[in-house]
Amino acid sequence: MTYILGISAFYHDSAAALLLDGELVAAAQEERFSRNKHDARFPSDATAYVLKHAQIDLDQVDHVAFYDKPFLKFERLMETYVALAPRGFTSFKTAIPVWLKEKLFLKSLLLKDLQRLGAKVPAERLLFAEHHMSHAASAFYPSPFDEAVVLTVDGVGEWATTTVGIGRENELEIKKEIRFPHSLGLLYSAFTYYAGFKVNSGEYKVMGLAPYGEPRFKDRILETLVDLKEDGSFRLNQKYFNYAAGLTMTSAAFANVFGEPVRVPETDPLTQFHMDVAASIQAVTEEVLFRITRAISEEYKIPNLCMAGGVALNCVANGKILREGRFDEIWIQPAAGDAGGAVGAAYAAWHQHLGNPRAHRDGDRMRGAYLGPSFGTEEITAELDRLGARYTLHSEEEMIESTASALADGKAIGWFQGRMEFGPRALGGRSILGDARSESMQKTLNLKVKYRESFRPFAPSILREHLGECFDLDTDSPYMLLVANIREELKKEMTPEQDALFGIDKLNVPRSTIPAVTHVDYSARVQTVHSDTNPLYHALISRFRNKTGCPVIVNTSFNVRGEPIVCTPEDAFRCFMGTELDFLTIGNCILLKEDQDPALKEDYTSKYELD
């Protein structure tokens, strides 16, 4: 047996992943254990978990693979600072001491961190993959394809910001790349910053805000900020950006292009201007990706596309790429950001360093992304007893029946079952659920449970076998990475007065018979639920359908704004008691809010740093 431990760390979203003879058996992000969103520290708890899951010690691991090459990244930083000197001295003064103290000597730092887990790892067992190779490997090797074009797009790795590769069997080769400072991910993050959201966290807010606006600045962006070629290659005009040498994403010239200053987070209101800016950068991002995917489709004539990197989480663009039909099939790594680099580094070590063939199997190799910890009934009840929770214990059949009835009655439900998901999406393991037919559910969950902005949309979980009844989509979407339109027959016709509404005023207009999951542009970020990967979640939605005739429910992550998704029964109970959730199902235990001791109520409205 050969074990390979993959590690991503020290930038954001650190994680650990474990392969056994080329099969992914466990993976988790450090934030789920530390409760620190996007935790960048060495993933000691995540590593301890994956080893515990496999019932091995660290000294039984054959190789440890890191997802980055720090010397190349340091080279990029130094060359950038030299090229831009004296501009950027403040940033240089901030960054260099950290590099000289820690990151430049990352190999020894990693070996020390690993040793703290109880074993001394020989230096020769430590391997390093380039950042975008880790992304590419995470996209291709777990995919269901024997051959694929592999596109990775993010902020920046060492030098690369966008790469195109070809994967065939166990071989993966990067064919071309775009290099820093020209970055689609950093361009999107610049607009995230400009709109007053947190970089490396709030990009999905921009995507969610975009349908409320009109892309009236698209041409201005392409004329002023981005030199975009027909094949999708591009250059950014650095006059308007500050990320290469400064401590902010944009320069003063950037704001002058659009005529308004950077929005002050949490203070300045979101206006129609910000919605139009969001719509515009989303349209530009889609245009860049369309041109790249059209060009690589023509050049390589391979019918399959794999994607990873943070920009691959832009599910709106992904859905449009799929609908364009340039590729027969698209597979996107569910942990497309840096956390997934741990998976990619491990796969690169197994296939490229060790030369092992890929195992052939139906479907992908991500196990539905259910790769985190699970808890048995004895563990759950012991934890609930310790916390003072009041619960009832049921058979699985009774639990499904009671939870489905509560959903049909309009309750907001915490759902904690099986293994925790790997990646940023809750997929029916650690989820908050609601009735998709409810006209008030979106606002209730946003404002009273998640404590977040009211405009944020929710995803539908739908039984795969009933997908065509509700959405214009005819392919699996188990990882919530494709946006599709609601079917025409489910849409509600708008009155002239409703059609004339602008911005957030659109939010209160029910647009379909499943309004809680229908965005203002009649789209939805779809999760198809499969009985083979999550039989319990599939059974719950099936029972809900039997009661209501509706095969779709609301699914959002089990957390409040700024909190990592819950990991343990204790996390779930505390979030339950800190929000206005009505009903909590943990394993076969059911908890009702009205039964709980009021003294255990917590205030979660300001418990976590805002995202």
CATH number, domain of 594, equals 3.90.870.20
Write the pLDDT tens digit of every residue in 479-488: 999 999 999 9
Q: Return all residues near 242 (Cβ < 8 A) that are at least 6 apart.
A: 248, 249, 250, 251
Please check whether residues 353 and 395 belong to one and the same domain: no
Give the rounded percent of residues in the chain with a pLDDT score beyond 70.
93
Residue 607 lies in a domain: no
Q: Which domain holds residue 565?
A: 377-600
pLDDT tens digit string along 222-244? 999 999 999 999 999 999 998 87
Asked if 124 and 194 sit in the same domain, the reply is: no
The answer to whether 514 touches 522, Cβ cutoff 8 Å, is no
Q: How does pLDDT run across 374-424, given as a tens digit for each residue?
A: 999 999 999 999 999 999 999 999 999 999 999 999 999 999 999 999 999
Least confident of 163-167, 239-243, 325-329, 385-389: 239-243
State the helix-helix crossing angle for 272-300 and 184-194, rounded to 10 degrees.
170
Residues 471, 386 share a domain: yes
Query: How would residue 97 be classed by pLDDT, with cut points 50, 70 and 90?
Result: low
Is 12 part of a structural domain of the chain? yes
Sheet holding 482-485, edge to edge: 392-393, 589-592, 583-586, 413-416, 430-435, 552-557, 459-463, 523-529, 482-485
Task: Please count the other Cβ atoms lying within 10 Å of the Cβ belonging to residue 118.
Answer: 11
Is 70 exceeded by the pLDDT of residue 125? yes
Q: Is residue 170 part of a domain?
A: no
Kindly report the CATH number assigned to the domain that includes residue 239: 3.30.420.40
User: In the structure, what pLDDT confidence band is assigned to residue 266 with cuts at 50, 70 and 90?
Assistant: confident
Question: Do residues 298 and 321 share a domain?
Answer: yes
The pLDDT value given to residue 81 = 46
- With CA atoms as reference, report the closest residue to 523 among 471, 600, 593: 471
Q: Angle 98-99-102 (CA atoms, 0-180°, nearest 5)?
A: 75
As a whole number of angstroms, the distance between CA 401 and CA 385 comes to 24
CA-based nearest residue to 117, from 49, 54, 68: 49
> 308 and 358, same structural domain?
no
**Strand, helix or coil for residue 227:** strand
**Cross-strand partners of 413:** 433, 583
Are 230 and 118 part of one and the same domain? no
**One domain, residues 361 and 419:** no
Q: Is the pLDDT of residue 104 over 70?
A: no
Do 107 and 195 lie in a common domain? no
Q: Answer yes or no: pTM beyond 0.85.
A: yes
pLDDT for the residue numbered 152? 98
- Which residues contact residue 299 at a Cβ distance below 8 angstroms, ignoring those fewer than 6 apart? none
Residue 103 has pLDDT above 70, yes or no: no
- For the segment 9-34, the average pLDDT, to the nearest whole number, is 96
Q: How distant is the alpha carbon of residue 27 from its chain centre?
A: 14
Residue 602 CB contacts under 8 Å (≥ 6 apart), including other chains: 574, 577, 578
pLDDT (mean) for 279-291: 98
**Chain segment 564-587, per-residue pLDDT in tens:** 999 999 999 999 999 999 999 999
What is the token pair recorded at 6?
A: 């993959």
pLDDT for 108 equals 81
Confidence at 88, pLDDT banded by 50, 70, 90: low
Residue 288 lies in a domain: yes
Given this model, what pLDDT does residue 391 score?
98
- In this structure, is residue 595 part of a structural domain? yes
Average pLDDT, the chain: 92
Instruction: Tell me which residue of 431, 445, 429 sits closest to 556, measured CA to CA.
Output: 431
The answer to whether 255 and 261 are in contact (CB under 8 A) is: yes
489, pLDDT greater than 90 = yes
Domain co-membership, 212 together with 325: yes
Count of domains forming the chain: 3
Both 324 and 412 in a single domain? no
pLDDT at 419: 98
Do 355 and 296 belong to one domain? no
Please compute the mean of the pLDDT values over residues 532-559 and round it to a whole number. 97
> Would you state the pLDDT for residue 337?
95
Residues 408 and 550 occupy one common structural domain? yes
pLDDT at 94 over 80: no
Residue 309's pLDDT band, with cuts at 50, 70 and 90, is very high
